[in-house]
Structure 1
Amino acid sequence: MAQQNKQFGNVTSLPGTNSALSGGGFVRSVNDWLMESALQDTDVDEVISGMVSRLVAAGLPIDRVMVGFKTLHPLYEGVSYIWSKPTGQVERSFHLGVRENNPEWVESPMKWMIDNGVTFLRRHLIGPGAILDFPVLKSFRELSGTDYLALVTPFVTDRDSELGENRIFMTYLTSRPSGFTDEDLAILSAIQRRFAVTCKMRIMHDETKTILETYLGSDAGHRVRNGQIKLGDSTKTRAVIWFSDMRNSTAMAAHVGDDAFLEQMNSFFAATAGAVLAHGGQVLRYIGDATLAIFPIRDDEGDLEQACHAAVYAAAEVQMNIENLNRGREEQGLPEFDYGLGMHVGDVVYGNVGVKERVDFTVVGRAANEASRIEKLTKQLGKRVLVSAPVAKYISCPTENIGEYELQGTGTRVTLYAPDFSEACQRLELLRAS
């Protein structure tokens, strides 16, 4: 028992044994632990694992636990966590925004509970009192389930939001022949609200993190969450600076119309900015139909070479993506995408600009301006991609020396090179095939 106490904290005996922790005492111990977890901002899967461990150690006959909730994320609508007795592990799954068309959701107990304003549902799965009115219950009985409990706890993450009320869904399954006892049900119901509060704290943390990273990028979002929010807060960073821009966007917008052009821009960004992210770069901002990004250089010359290597392979992937898109656009009679891309190396100031009431997190500085001017020369020189000498020095693909040019408005002259991505594209094709 001493070893069990060490593993499961202050759970020392079973509910119903007239001990200090029976009944309400046990519930208080679990609820106190849940509040401590909320204060420490513990991950949801760790909370579930710790809570189930305490329940199982106290003798509750739990074989499966599911926790689910909606979340604010650009890629998926909801998250679920499932703990199962055979593995003793919590597995997380993400769910796309297809609930309305998903039979599993439409025919689920949770959907019925929402529609009918019910927060507690219990079903015996065997014996004369069995009710199998949802398809999932039949599946659970086939897995030797005998009793099923579903709890729903509504909550509000932001009272000013128009997204409506959120909910924590929680279900328990047991295979004990006699099912859950009344005391089991009382305990599970009594800890539900504290568990929901703990989850809510983490949901709000994760949603804030998601919003910041979606709108600012991963590194900038991290910096803002860690307090770098005042006007003038900044860090000097050395980086490979990427500036890409869609060509002939005005003509394309006139051809397809304003509403359709937004969709066209998103396809273009998926092909260009998406390649930056795929190769470890950071997209800092979109300027109309242009993308400003960086590949940070941390410490030494080796890291500079690695950053240049990543940037060039991202550029090669852009070329492949645009060519694939244009084949489809040609078949649809749509104008083809074209673009210019300039890359440069230098020190930039990475931080907040604007006014104190409304700041933007970006990079500013001479090197960023020079990368933008290099991109502008791509059209003049008839090249899609131009890189400065510091980038060309560290890339493995062949390059053509275009010559030395003055960058408009900077007073700087740089030697420019046009990379040949044929070999890089072949390597990427092989990687995709494997």
Structure 2
Amino acid sequence: MAETEDIAAVQADIAFWLIGPARLSLSPGDIVTGLIDRLAAAGVPLLRVRIGQRVANPMTSAWGVIWTRGKGAERYTVPRSMLATPSYRGSPFEWINETRQSFRSRLERLEEGRDHIVLLEQAAAGGTDYLVLPIEYGDGSVQGGSFTTDRPGGFSERDLALIEGLAPAIAAALEPAAMRHSMASLLEVYLGTGPADRIGKGAFRRGETTEIEAAVLVTDLRDFTGLSERLPPGDLLDSLGSYFEVVVDAVRSEGGDVLKFIGDGVLSVFSAEEHDREEACMRAARSIIRAFGQPAVSEKPFVAAVHVGSVVYGNIGSLDRLDFTVVGPTVNYLSRLETAAKLLDKKAVCSKEVASVLPPGMIRDLGRHTLKGFADPQAVFEIRAVDR
């Protein structure tokens, strides 16, 4: 009876901290660290704790916090592809997701080939007992919290009762942070880092735009119409996917934001608000050079164009459907440049405004050419470094 009262009192103290101060003011890492400190003070010796958070994201399956004695807490992410690997299939985490029940395994007498690799890894690290706890959120999803001890003989019945009884409070403390992270990561996947950050901070009303100075980049596959006629739908999507990956990685590596995919086109922006105009143009040009340097480009040739100037940046659309994008004369002119690149059979071109701030060896004057919508011929420059 006394031990039951002791467990209830300790649980109440830790739960009050989790639901109150921890939930309101601490990061996920600090919440996990504080929980471990309180469990240790209650006599539960922990070697490692991992609390994962599943997310609705096409790229990422989960993120979470891993605490290890002597190292502290670290954030981690799990790619969605991990769900198809032996590391997840048949694992304790798959078990608790499917059954919503706790999983416990002693770690002293494991056998390779019989016991799951997760258990073998815990034993190799010095663990003697392993508990995985289902942590249920308000939306019905199940998160996983694993607790490893290195105490000889493993967890006591008191340890197990104490940890398992804290599951609702752990969920209450971590769910708000998990929901914020899920929303932010999903926005970033579809909108890019910059727009996602702006919308996350409240810039989500129609017409909530700002005029900024930026270098704008557009890329477009050559002969996409012919490609779509030659390839089956599945192969076409694979081809588009690998091309998009090359461009997106290149843009992000230079601090740009990919705003949208338009058919086979990619529209990206390099803000000159945080950097000056010259640096924005250089980052856009370097992203092109990086993209054209990838092996996949030879199989999926594309063209690129860069212009710099003022753009209207923000939410544009109807009453019930918004798009975060850039519009204005700068973007219109960029479209004309991209068409010129195809007509001139050049990999990458830029406007005279961009050419004026790039190193002379990076560009070549292609002369003046007629662009749709402009009465006078316009100067077009080739970005030559893409051939190096």
Distance 2:368 2:333 in 1: 14
Q: What code does the residue aligned with 1:110 have? A: F
User: In the superposition, relative to structure 1, how do residues 87 and 388 fare at CA in structure 2: closer, same or farther (>3 Å)?
Assistant: same
- % identical equivalent positions: 27
Q: What code does the residue aligned with 1:199 have? A: L
Q: RMSD across aligned C-alpha pairs, in angstroms?
A: 2.9
Residue 264 of structure 2 corresponds to residue 289 of structure 1:
yes
Distance 1:144 1:258 in 2: 51
Pairs within 5 Å for 1:19-418: 22-36=6-20, 39-40=23-24, 42-90=26-74, 92-102=76-86, 104-115=87-98, 117=99, 119-125=101-107, 134-135=115-116, 136-137=118-119, 139-141=121-123, 143-155=125-137, 157=139, 166-298=141-273, 303-321=276-294, 324-325=295-296, 327=298, 329=299, 337-396=300-359, 397-410=361-374, 414-418=378-382
Given that 1:107 and 1:134 are in contact with CA atoms closer than 8 Å, whether structure 2 keeps it comes out as: no
TM-score using structure 2 length:
0.87
User: In the superposition, relative to structure 1, how do residues 38 and 71 fare at CA in structure 2: closer, same or farther (>3 Å)?
Assistant: farther
Of 171-180 and 216-225, deviating more is: 171-180
* Structure whose CA Rg is larger: 1
1:166 positional shift:
2.9
Distance 2:291 2:119 in 1: 48
Q: Which residue of 2 aligns with 1:430?
A: none
* Unaligned residue ranges in structure 2 (runs of 5+): none
Distance 2:70 2:278 in 1: 48
Q: What code does the residue aligned with 2:316 have? A: V
Q: Any idea what the Cα deviations from partners look like across 1:308-335, whole Å, max 9, x if unmatched?
A: 11111111122222xx2255x4xxxxxx
User: In the superposition, relative to structure 1, how do residues 38 and 260 fare at CA in structure 2: closer, same or farther (>3 Å)?
Assistant: farther
1:270 positional shift:
2.0
Distance 1:315 1:90 in 2: 35
Distance 1:257 1:173 in 2: 50
Q: What code does the residue aligned with 2:337 have? A: I
Q: What code does the residue aligned with 2:312 have? A: V
Number of positions where the alignment pairs a residue of Structure 1 with one of Structure 2: 383
Q: What code does the residue aligned with 1:145 have? A: G
Q: What code does the residue aligned with 1:148 have? A: Y
Of 71-80 and 246-255, deviating more is: 71-80
1:376 positional shift:
1.3
Given that 2:228 and 2:236 are in contact with CA atoms closer than 8 Å, whether structure 1 keeps it comes out as: yes
Q: What code does the residue aligned with 1:305 have? A: E
Q: Any idea what the Cα deviations from partners look like across 1:223-270, whole Å, max 9, x if unmatched?
A: 112221111110111001112222211111111133422222222222
SS in 2 for 1:98: helix
Distance 1:178 1:203 in 2: 34
* Unaligned residue ranges in structure 1 (runs of 5+): 1-14, 158-164, 330-336, 427-434
1:177 positional shift:
2.8
Distance 1:236 1:123 in 2: 59
User: In the superposition, relative to structure 1, how do residues 414 and 30 fare at CA in structure 2: closer, same or farther (>3 Å)?
Assistant: farther
SS in 1 for 2:46: coil
Distance 1:66 1:170 in 2: 6
Q: What code does the residue aligned with 2:61 have? A: E
Given that 2:135 and 2:170 are in contact with CA atoms closer than 8 Å, whether structure 1 keeps it comes out as: no
User: In the superposition, relative to structure 1, how do residues 211 and 411 fare at CA in structure 2: closer, same or farther (>3 Å)?
Assistant: farther
Given that 1:99 and 1:105 are in contact with CA atoms closer than 8 Å, whether structure 2 keeps it comes out as: yes
SS in 1 for 2:81: coil
